Structure 1
Amino acid sequence: MSTKTVLITGTSSGIGLATAVAAAQSGWHVVATMRDTTKAGALLAAAQAAGVSVDVRALDVTDPASVAACLAGLDRLDALVNNAGAGHVGTLEQVSVEDVRAVMEVNFFGVLHVTKAALPMLRASKGRVLTVTSVGGVIGQPFNEAYCAAKFAVEGFMESLAPVAATTGVTVTVVEPGAVASEFVSNLGGRDTLVAQAGPYAPALHAYIERTTKAFDNAQTSDQAAAAIVAALTTDRPAFRVQTSDAARQFTATKLADLDGSAVLAFTGAWLSR
């Protein structure tokens, strides 16, 4: 039987990079995609250090033509890992609708573009779709309104798609990391500027940033998150919903057991006071 092929999006850093290397170590032929392949240096170095190789290709998840071109270059596809995404911090009154649309384009419509293009090949191989969402796709988090909205949308879409895809032999899974020690927090940038521009929301935003920075100080590593993703990729019967750590499981459990929403709002509201 030929080596199985997995396409992974967003592999230039963080979870995507670690997942590409871990999947290659598990025997997969890894098509590691990113919008800008000039940023592949860290991935290629990590793969070389691990004694594996990956097939780096350009793919912009927000561009259907780019997605189609990338998929057309594959002979087969056994699994897709939707990992590409972008964070966003801000609250409704102070961001533009265009900002929110941009977040949705990457985190929601990007997932749809790639999954739609991949499904015919995955039906042929009886393959699987894994989409990296977030605990923010289960619990809405202060100042992450656009990001959480996109991740909620992905979770709802995939939860609805899963039984339909299963009728054709394709399994669908969402993977929910919690805090992961990657570039997410450093990409926030300009924290003091953000607070200074927050107006009436400045005290709450300052408290949120302090709390979140501490959470990421104790985060799991990208390699640990990748191990959970590869386990879901290789198990015979993948669950629909997978968390990558005990902390993520405890966090999401708050929502899944909270029928009236009061526990979640009490939980997240406490983040905004010092």
Structure 2
Amino acid sequence: MTTPATIPTATPRTVLVTGTSSGIGLATAVTAARAGWHVIATMRDTAKAGALLAAADEAGVSVDLRALDVTDPASVTACLAGLDRLDALVNNAGAGHVGTLEQESVDDVRAVMEVNFFGVLNVTKAVLPLLRQSKGRVLTVTSVGGVVGQPFNEAYCAAKFAVEGFMESLAPVAATAGVSVSVVEPGAVASEFVSNVGLPADALEQAGPYAPALSAYLERTSGAFASAQTSQDVAERMVDLLDAERPAFRLLTSDAARAFAGVKLADLDGSAVQNLTGGWVR
């Protein structure tokens, strides 16, 4: 009797997703695993992996959980140790921030840039040699805040603008080495991100001359998030982009995001954006 030949199975593609303890990162990790990707799911503190692991278990998939602090190059190196193939990177880790320049320190702004901009650069730089080998792709979650500057989001939008400019400039260079680069721009998303912006309970009392403007901004923003897109909806669009034969550079994840960013993208003299966002604080 002869033994039937074993038909080799395709090796799953591998994607590394940052910031997977909650929100878009968690949903993207699980959705990608369901789509057949081998997912390296990372977060700064793996003690906070309970929600991710529960979601993966419920979906009938597993993820490769690793610690990663995107602001620490040594942590990036340790996370990638032993990894000899990578097909995609999803830069999702980030932190919100609400404040205005007169009332915060430049060090506060630097801290926002460190996680939202330099953290993206740390991880992307480290994995580019692997992505060149696989002809892979980089997806970076920015925000419509990377297109339209928004009141009391000065530091956050500055970081996201920086990421957008960096990736838009990197994309044609990376393409010459076979690596595609995309940015993903959600609008309001129902996740823990908003609760992590660090705004103190007495923010209005401390806002001084900016209190009326901050009050108007917070009222408008709470309404926007009441009808926010879900993290799962964003994740499904992210995985579509991961699987796309020719991924676009920019993905706006909802009609609301497209309409909002479209104001800026068609605003040649800047007046439309100023008229739009000025109404948020008056």
TM-score normalised by length of structure 1: 0.98
8 Å contact kept, 1:134–1:176: yes
Aligned to 1:89: 98
Q: Does 1:49 align with 2:58?
A: yes
Aligned to 1:14: 23
8 Å contact kept, 2:84–2:130: no
Distance apart, 1:192 and its partner CA: 4.4
8 Å contact kept, 1:18–1:226: yes
Which has the larger Rg? 2
Please give the per-residue CA displacement for 1:151-173, whole angstroms capped at 9, x wherever unaligned: 00000000000000000000000
Q: Does 1:4 align with 2:4?
A: no
Secondary structure, aligned partner of 1:98: helix
Over 6 Å off, 4+ runs: none
Unmatched 5+ residue regions in structure 1? none
Please point out which of 145, 153, 169 is paired with 1:136.
Answer: 145
The code of the aligned residue for 2:89 comes to L
Q: Which moved more, 1:185-194 or 1:251-260?
A: 185-194
The code of the aligned residue for 2:251 comes to V
The code of the aligned residue for 2:136 comes to G
Q: Does 1:122 align with 2:128?
A: no
Give matches, 1:93-242, under 5 Å: 93-188=102-197, 192-242=201-251
8 Å contact kept, 1:31–1:56: yes
8 Å contact kept, 1:185–1:213: no
Structure 1 pair 188/85, CA: closer, same or farther in 2 (3 Å)? Answer: closer
Give matches, 1:73-84, under 5 Å: 73-84=82-93
Aligned to 2:267: 258
Distance apart, 1:186 and its partner CA: 2.2
Q: Work out the CA distance in 1 between the residues paired with 2:179 and 2:14.
A: 15
Q: Work out the CA distance in 1 between the residues paired with 2:104 and 2:247.
A: 38
Distance apart, 1:72 and its partner CA: 2.0
The code of the aligned residue for 1:252 comes to A
Q: Does 1:60 align with 2:74?
A: no
Q: Which moved more, 1:184-193 or 1:130-139?
A: 184-193
The code of the aligned residue for 1:123 comes to R
Q: Work out the CA distance in 2 between the residues paired with 1:160 and 1:232.
A: 20
8 Å contact kept, 1:4–1:29: yes
Unmatched 5+ residue regions in structure 2? 1-9
Distance apart, 1:190 and its partner CA: 5.2
Q: Work out the CA distance in 1 between the residues paired with 2:91 and 2:194.
A: 21
Q: Which moved more, 1:122-131 or 1:184-193?
A: 184-193
Secondary structure, aligned partner of 1:103: helix
Please give the per-residue CA displacement for 1:34-58, whole angstroms capped at 9, x wherever unaligned: 0000000000000001111111000
Aligned to 1:34: 43
Backbone CA RMSD of aligned residues: 0.9
